Amino acid sequence: MGLFDRLRRRERPGTRRAASTADTDHLEQWASTHRGVEAYVEPRTTVTEITVLLIAHDGEWTRRRVGSGEDARRLGKRLRIPVYDVAKVGYPQRMRDYTARQRILREREKDRRESPDKSIDNL
């Protein structure tokens, strides 16, 4: 990255990025490699455009932008998965459970890396 690259970038900081084919491709690929996938459409916010959240049977999830709620429903129809409006039904418990499990695993890994080696040589 050059010294003045930040000044030359096309997008202004804080502007919303529209959905792209890379977003759709990611969602399609992710859904094809996970079991029991459901789609949850998230409304536009001051920070992001409309997004779709794909959640697998075990709670693993991914989120990407979509052009509109209708685009999200067409994606769901193409992938043959149910589509829900998160503002009406909320997030499933399995997603919250998965996120909590991942947080615990990350903290354990961090603690393991930060703790001194407890080998017999250190005793």
Tell me what pLDDT residue 114 has: 87
The answer to the question of residue 19 being in a domain is yes
Question: What is the domain range of residue 51?
Answer: 14-114
Q: Which amino acid is at 118?
A: K
* Cα–Cα distance measured from residue 64 to residue 23, given in angstroms and rounded to the nearest whole number: 6
Total residues belonging to the chain: 123
Percent with pLDDT over 70 in the chain: 79
The answer to the question of residue 5 being in a domain is no
Tell me what pLDDT residue 5 has: 55
Q: Are 47 and 16 in contact (CB under 8 A)?
A: yes
The answer to the question of residue 6 being in a domain is no
Instruction: Provide the number of structural domains found in the chain.
Output: 1
The answer to the question of residue 120 being in a domain is no
- Tokens standing for residue 123: 């005793």
The answer to the question of residue 46 being in a domain is yes
Model-level pTM greater than 0.85? no
How does pLDDT run across 57-108, given as a tens digit for each residue?
Answer: 999 999 999 989 999 999 999 999 999 999 999 999 999 999 999 999 999 9
Confidence of residue 8 (pLDDT cuts 50, 70, 90): low
Q: Are 71 and 83 in contact (CB under 8 A)?
A: no
The answer to the question of residue 33 being in a domain is yes
Tell me what pLDDT residue 16 has: 60
